[in-house]
Structure 1
Amino acid sequence: MDLGIFFDGLCEPINPGGTACYGYAVYGIGPVGKAVTGCGVFKAGAGMTNNVAEWIALGKALALVRAEKLRPDTVTIYGDSQLVINQLIGDFECNNERLREYRDRCLEHLTELGCVWKAHWIPRDQNVEADHLARAAYVGRIGRLLPERVKG
């Protein structure tokens, strides 16, 4: 079994210090062509950042895979956060203690799955489903729409 995980996080309306929300889509668990998805609000206030939200999103997706007691052959992770992807694969150091804890928890999940895994950065426009889920979690909590992101 091969799984694909797309994840995204946001911290709005300000970063840092806003409401950290996450979204993920895991392909390969459900019916062919369908994803098992999740989203939610992690926390609001001091210490919340986009980077925290991104790590939470990936951690929640990996925790779901573990909770389902799946034993995939491969897991391919896709995210639009260059920082998270590069810290996960070891190309960037993780100097922030809090982010290092999130990274280490994700690596523990991957080790427990006992599979080959890889992670790839993708542009935001290729991460639409996870982005939509994270934004929906924010809207559900706050009750108003976020402004559309400008491509840049």
Structure 2
Amino acid sequence: MDVRVVLTYTTPKGTETVFWSDEMPAAKALLLAEDLEKTGRAKQLRFIDKYDSNWTMKELKKQMEVIQTEPHEVTVYFDGGFDRETKRSGLGCVIYYEQNGKSWRLRKNALVEELETNNEAEYAALHLAIQELLLLEVHHQAVTFSGDSQVVINQLKGEWPCYEQVLNQWADRIEDELDQAGIDPEYVAISRKHNQEADRLASQALKGVDVTSTREV
């Protein structure tokens, strides 16, 4: 969770001005704010996030305690594969997150038959990952989505146009669900070598092997 520190600063002679910091992790912002408060010259300390929600120091500390009990620091890997002979698609996703002071890994795959192309399977795999995030009740935070599909990553980043109606429908569905959950997505293109976990899950789904697991890592 990143926030900006906003405060009114008063000089010994009474001159006042308002300072806004750059965005920084909330824990760092609290440390700086506490140090500034000790000077006795920093007044009306507030913390504001990218959604324009704001807190006092006491409220932010309480919010940080709540965050620790919820999934946070979330990173998602996704991959989809389409078998032209059987017309079936294997979807795989891996979700890493922190909760209650521990690190967790969730793995999920699925076999679907209603898709028509590999690009659609890639979108469906990302959508599967988002469904798992919603089940985890991930909300109002930044999430990194990593995949080896240049089409999906670059279309969702707005860097490539999307001319296929079916892919546009997938993109709209994904963006709507992320917006509703208050998830701020960061899309990262990675090589297949660095996406082996999700790729393996997609391949296992095509072979009829179901995987659903969550474990501490």
- Structure 1 length as normaliser, TM-score? 0.82
Tell me, in whole angstroms, the C-alpha distance in 2 between the residues paired with 1:22 and 1:131: 8
Are positions 1:76 and 2:144 aligned together?
yes
Q: Structure 1 pair 99/69, CA: closer, same or farther in 2 (3 Å)?
A: same
Q: Structure 1 pair 89/113, CA: closer, same or farther in 2 (3 Å)?
A: same
- Structure 2 length as normaliser, TM-score? 0.58
Tell me, in whole angstroms, the C-alpha distance in 2 between the residues paired with 1:9 and 1:84: 11
The one-letter amino acid of 1:74's match is: A
CA contact (8 A) 1:20 1:52 kept: no
Give the structure, 1 or 2, with the largest relative contact order (CA under 8 Å, sep 6 or more).
Answer: 1
Tell me, in whole angstroms, the C-alpha distance in 1 between the residues paired with 2:98 and 2:175: 20
Match of 1:20 among 89, 92, 117: 89
Shift of 1:64: 1.5
Shift of 1:67: 2.7
CA RMSD across the alignment: 2.0
Tell me, in whole angstroms, the C-alpha distance in 2 between the residues paired with 1:40 and 1:48: 16
Structure 1 runs of 4+ aligned residues shifted over 6 Å read none
Shift of 1:49: 1.1
Shift of 1:70: 2.1
Structure of greater Rg: 2
Tell me, in whole angstroms, the C-alpha distance in 2 between the residues paired with 1:43 and 1:30: 35
In proportion to residue count, which structure has more strand? Answer: 2
Structure 2, unmatched stretches of 5+, are 1-71, 210-217
Instruction: Provide Cα deviations, 1:75-123, integer angstroms capped at 9, x if missing partner.
Output: 0000000000001111111111111111111111211221332101000
Cross-structure match for 1:140: 208
CA contact (8 A) 1:30 1:36 kept: no
Number of equivalences: 137
User: What SS is found at the alignment partner of 2:109?
Assistant: strand
Shift of 1:39: 0.5
